[in-house]
Amino acid sequence: MSSASKAADVTLIGADYSVYTRICRATLRLKGIEYTFEDLDVFAEGGAEKARQAGHPFGRIPVFRHGDLTIFETLAITRYIDQAFDGPLLQPDNPNDQALMNQIISIIDTQVYPVLVWGLHVPRSEGREPPPEMLGSGLKVLAALDTLAGDDWLCGGSVSLADAYMAGCMEYVIDSAVGSLLPGHAPRLWTWWNRARTCAAFA
């Protein structure tokens, strides 16, 4: 079955502000898949219940539908998109680069999102100062990613799910309490972002 016919009934449910919705949208764009987007704000009144009704048992977003199939959890969604549709492969085919990709994705889930997005961006967006210890934690996260970043894309010579994950966070990272320190503190990551931001999938 061709990618176009497979994609005839593809829907992504989420919100533009959501890091994880952005990751899924970037993955769909990288694969060249047409899809329907349904906006769902889980922070609005009744939003969590709508998300549960859409197929996420924990009342979160995104939710992905392909025909009769419903998938929640971003890693499951993005890997399914990469494996089920035609288009460039977004997961490396060698164990070393696969491990690097999975490592970066794990750092984004366990460190970038809670520390840089929620810990350092959200307080700034609300006019609050973040806890002092968060600044040090944020710099450690950036340093770790900078050490792992490849010369072209995060995991080597071609774009991968790791790039989609990091790109989904970058607007908030830059607009966080450590954003201005990125060029000097994480120069490889900053170089990667200046390349990645020109990619239409990450716009």
User: Total structural domains in the chain?
Assistant: 2
Say whether both 166 and 125 belong to one domain: yes
Where is the domain boundary, 40, 64, 84?
Answer: 84
The DSSP secondary structure of 117-142, one letter per residue, reads IIIIIHHHHTT-PPPHHHHHHHHHHH
Sequential DSSP letters for 31-44: HT---EEEE--TTS
Quick one: 189 and 115 in the same domain?
A: yes
Length of the chain: 203
Does any domain span residue 39?
Answer: yes
Query: Domain check: are 46 and 119 in the same one?
Result: no
Predicted pLDDT of residue 2: 40
Q: Are strands 10-14 and 69-72 parallel, antiparallel or unpaired?
A: unpaired
Which H/E stretch holds residue 10? Answer: strand 10-14
Asked if 79 and 171 sit in the same domain, the reply is no
111 assigned to some structural domain: yes
State the residue range of the domain holding 179: 95-202
| The predicted structure's pLDDT at residue 83 | 97
CATH of the domain at 194: 1.20.1050.10
Write the secondary structure of 46-96 as one string of H (helix), E (strand) and C (coil): CHHHHHHHHCCCCCCCCEEEECCEEEECHHHHHHHHHHHCCCCCCCCCCHH
Looking at residue 46, its pLDDT comes to 98
Alpha-carbon distance 188 to 185, whole Å?
A: 9
**Sign of the C-alpha dihedral, residues 186, 129, 41, 203?**
negative
10 and 108 part of one domain = no
Q: Do residues 30 and 103 both lie within one domain?
A: no
Ordered per-residue pLDDT tens for the chain, 203 residues:
344 445 569 999 999 999 999 999 999 999 999 999 999 999 999 999 999 999 999 999 999 999 999 999 999 999 999 999 999 999 999 999 999 999 999 999 999 999 999 999 999 999 999 988 999 999 999 999 999 999 999 998 999 999 999 999 999 999 999 999 999 999 999 999 999 999 999 98
Q: What is the pLDDT of residue 156?
A: 85
Whether residue 89 lies inside any domain: the answer is: no
52 and 137 fall within a common domain: no
Structure tokens at 93: 């085919």
Residue 161 lies in a domain: yes
In terms of domains, do 21 and 70 share one?
Answer: yes
Q: Six-digit token pair at 127?
A: 């006019």
Same domain, 104 and 198: yes
Q: Of 50, 84, 118, which residue is a domain's last?
A: 84
Burial 40-79 (b: 16+ CB within 10 A, else e): bbbeeeebbebbeebebeeebbbbbbbeeeebbebeebbb
- pLDDT score of 7: 57
Q: What's the pLDDT score for residue 53? A: 98
Residue 38: give its domain's CATH number: 3.40.30.10
Q: Is the domain of 43 the same as that of 79? A: yes
Q: What is the pLDDT of residue 203?
A: 83
**pLDDT value for 6:** 54
Residue 111 and residue 197 share a domain: yes
